[in-house]
Amino acid sequence: MTTLENPDRLTFTFATGDISQDNAVIEGVSVITEGPALGHGIMIDQLSLATVAECCRQHADGLKVKMDHGSGFDDIVGVLKNFRIDGNQLRADLQLLKAHECKDLILEMAATMPSEFGLSISFVGQLETVEDVDYMRCLEICSCDLVDEPAANPTGLFSKKELTPVKQSVSKPQMNVEPTEAEQIVSLSAERDSAREQAQKNFADLTTAKASLEAVTVERDEFCAKVTELSAEVEKLKSEAATAAEKAAQIVAANFGQAPIKTEADASADDKSKTRDEYAKLSPADALAFVKSGGKITD
């Protein structure tokens, strides 16, 4: 159900009733009648009548009636009392204030030109959608005011009781109601707030992603620095190992009377037995390989 923010006022008319000039009372006026609320794109059904009646009965001294919507204290001309649902209408008795200057005018208009004015409820409500048809549900009622263009009862002040009740299966009226400037402003403001909220969320997500990227970049740089450090350490160890191997070969060669010479990269020793003279001619690396392979030196 959709809450009506600043809902349009719906207009309804009097029903046939007794007019008492002396008591300033019009009995059995129609407060609201089943059917389409013309110009509003919504429908009135039995539940609409019931919710309006319930809200009206909350006013212990009667629901005030004013001269048109938006008027003030001076324009209160009477009250509605004795609310009852009668067929497809919610009825009440209109008690006019005898001291009000418009009392006689209203009574005369009711008797002579009933089709030219009527009642309109000022309320806060909700819409209930049933089979694509929007129905009014009253939550709070403020007043029921006299207006010159009734919407829910096109026949005028004395609404015909025999009007056919609206069935819930009826199709939703197609009405081209242009939004008011205030409604457009509210709609645009809502869109702006939604866009601003989305932009703030996007900025927060971007900030988080940027921070994550910066953290990953720092970790990457630290990792690269560590790899570079380890690579340098490996090269150092390889160099130290090569130097140690060369020294070991030179020591072995020196033990057999061979002066240290530079290690040949492609030196090899395949013979298992060499004379001392042959051995002396070997490079340090060949001499080391020869010894490691179990070679024997003969005289």
* % of the chain at pLDDT higher than 90: 26
Return d(Cα 196, Cα 214) in angstroms, integer.
27
pLDDT band at 139 (very low <50, low <70, confident <90, very high): very high
The per-residue pLDDT for range 11-33, each reduced to its tens digit, is 444 445 688 888 999 988 888 88
- Name the 3-class secondary structure at 180: coil
How many CB atoms lie under 10 A from the CB of residue 215?
10
Of residues 175 and 19, more confidence is placed in 19
* Average of per-residue pLDDT across 280-289: 81
Question: What's the rounded mean pLDDT across residues 191-209?
Answer: 89
Q: Is 207 exposed, middle or buried (0-12, 13-18, 19+ CB in 10 A)?
A: exposed
Radius of gyration of the chain (CA): 51
Q: How far apart (Å, rounded) are the C-alpha atoms in residues 119 and 146?
A: 5
156 Cβ contact list (under 8 Å, min separation 6) = 13, 114, 115, 116, 117, 118, 150
Mean pLDDT, the chain, rounded, equals 78
Q: Is the pLDDT of residue 166 over 50?
A: no
153 alpha carbon, distance to own chain's centre = 39
Q: What is the mean pLDDT of residues 240-264?
A: 65
User: For residue 3, what pLDDT band results from cuts at 50, 70 and 90?
Assistant: very low
SS (H, E, C) 224-288: HHHHHHHHHHHHHHHHHHHHHHHHHHHHHHHHCCCCCCCCCCCCCCCCCEEEHHHHHCCCHHHHH
Would you state the pLDDT for residue 117?
A: 80
Whole-prediction pTM value?
A: 0.49
pLDDT at 102 over 50: yes
Residues 172 and 133 sit within 8 Å (Cβ to Cβ): yes
Confidence of residue 108 (pLDDT cuts 50, 70, 90): confident
Q: What is the pLDDT of residue 101?
A: 92
In whole angstroms, how far apart are CA 237 and each of 158, 229, 234, 241? 110, 12, 5, 6
Residue 141 is predicted with a pLDDT of 92
What pLDDT was estimated at residue 163?
34
Q: Minimal CA–CA distance to 121: which of 176, 51, 175, 182?
A: 51
138 — pLDDT class (breaks 50, 70, 90): very high
